Amino acid sequence: MARSTSPNLAVPDPSFTEVSSRPTAYHLFIALRPHQWTKNLLLFAGLVFGRRLFDSAAVLAAVQGFAIFCALSGVVYLVNDVADRESDRQHPLKRRRPIAAGTLPLPIAIAAAAVIAAAALAAAFALSWRFGLIAAIYLALQGLYSGALKHIVIVDVLTVAIGFVLRAVAGAIAVNVVISHWLSVCTILLALFIALAKRRHELVLLADSATSHRPILGEYTLYLLDQMIAVVTASTMIAYIFYTISPETSAKFGTEWLGLTIPFPLYGIFRYLYLVHRREGGGNPSDLLLSDRPLLACVMLWVIAVVLIIYRPWNA
């Protein structure tokens, strides 16, 4: 039987061809990563724990703050993707990002980042000068992370965690309440837990090519990350337990029932660890939260329980 002598031609990926033919505005929107804006829901913590949930002016301010930080987050993602475009092309998942894939031109991405940043900061200072200051600090910190800080072991994950604390502080400032020190501690510890789990996922996913994609991963090992995650997990739960049962919290909310919510973060953290170790999850916390029904149900039930206990509508 005669063999075909025609060369083996690469068959283009139909899905990629379809996506790349879409308008530039579409690729810009995807590059802003709207699916990760769920992280900014932390801005509503001040609204809930500051007992302003049914204050229409406070709700409007919190929504405005959320929108501003979504815009700022999008700017951070654009800057990060521009800086990491070469290494992202070596990643099995990140290579599909618009800038790495070449579907979003570099000049457009840079110009969009500048325009959105200017508009978001202007809106932040219009909301209040203190909110604007926190927004500017957040943007500067994340800019430093996209540059030098993400290449410094331990400092990289701490920077990510501080970004979450700034979100919580901004949310409290937006509605003019004082955020609890315990709540700040819980926030930074939980953010550290998520950041370390993400580093672990990257090590497992990329294996021997991990350092070629992100050099800082060479400073971590699975054993080290597991040790750090164990410490942070215990610390997070202890901090939350002390917060819910502390006399300060009981006096503030007029109830000692907040301790009844302890099982929810306990299950949530254990479920997250299960997904990281048994399902190789944790690479994208936002996607993990939205795709895993037990984890999403746990978070929603925790929010409902907190609102019912703090506001006690049956006493209204």
- Give tens-digit pLDDT for 172-183: 999 999 888 888
22: closest CA among 93, 104, 110?
Answer: 104
Element housing 212 (H / E): helix 210-213
Judged against a pLDDT cut of 90, whether residue 115 lies above it is answered with: yes
Rounded Cα gap, residues 83 and 86, in angstroms: 8
Rounded Cα gap, residues 182 and 238, in angstroms: 10
Rounded Cα gap, residues 246 and 256, in angstroms: 9
The band of 6, judged by pLDDT with boundaries at 50, 70 and 90, is very low
Region of 19 please: left (phi>0), alpha (psi -120 to 50) or beta.
alpha
Region of 23 please: left (phi>0), alpha (psi -120 to 50) or beta.
beta
The band of 283, judged by pLDDT with boundaries at 50, 70 and 90, is low
Which pLDDT value is given to residue 5?
A: 40
What average pLDDT is seen over the chain? Answer: 86
Rounded Cα gap, residues 265 and 271, in angstroms: 10
175, two tokens:
């509605």
Judged against a pLDDT cut of 80, whether residue 116 lies above it is answered with: yes
pLDDT tens digits for 191-216? 999 989 888 888 887 766 666 667 78
Judged against a pLDDT cut of 80, whether residue 21 lies above it is answered with: no
pLDDT tens digits for 232-282? 999 999 999 999 999 988 998 888 899 999 999 999 999 998 988 887 666
Rounded Cα gap, residues 26 and 28, in angstroms: 5
More confident residue, 35 or 240: 240
* pTM to 2 decimal places: 0.84
